[in-house]
Amino acid sequence: MNKVENTSANFQKRNYKPAIIIISIILIGAIGVLAGMPGYEDFDAFDVTILPLMNAIFNSFTFVFLVCALVAILKKNITVHRRFIYAALGSTSLFLVSYVTFHFLAPSTPFGGEGFIAGFYYFILITHIVLAAAIVPLVLTSVARAWNMENDRHRKIARWTMPIWLYVSLTGVLVYILISPYY
Q: Could you read off the pLDDT of 52-81 as tens digits, one per residue?
A: 999 999 999 999 999 999 999 999 999 999
CATH number at residue 73: 1.20.120
Query: Is 11 part of any domain?
Result: no
Cα dihedral 134/116/59/34 (nearest 10): -60
Query: Is 113 part of any domain?
Result: yes
Lowest model confidence (mean pLDDT) among 97-106, 113-122, 131-140: 97-106
Query: Cα-flanking dihedrals φ and ψ of residue 16, to 5°?
Result: -90, -5
pTM of whole model > 0.85? yes
Query: Is 69 part of any domain?
Result: yes
Note down the domain range covering 109. 20-32+44-182
Query: Is 15 part of any domain?
Result: no
Q: 183 near 109, Cβ under 8 Å? A: yes
Query: Is 8 part of any domain?
Result: no
Distance CA 83, CA 78 (A): 9
Distance CA 148, CA 136 (A): 18
| Number of independent structural domains in the chain | 1
Candidates 1, 22, 60, 5; CA nearest to 136 is 22
Query: Is 78 part of any domain?
Result: yes
Query: Is 14 part of any domain?
Result: no
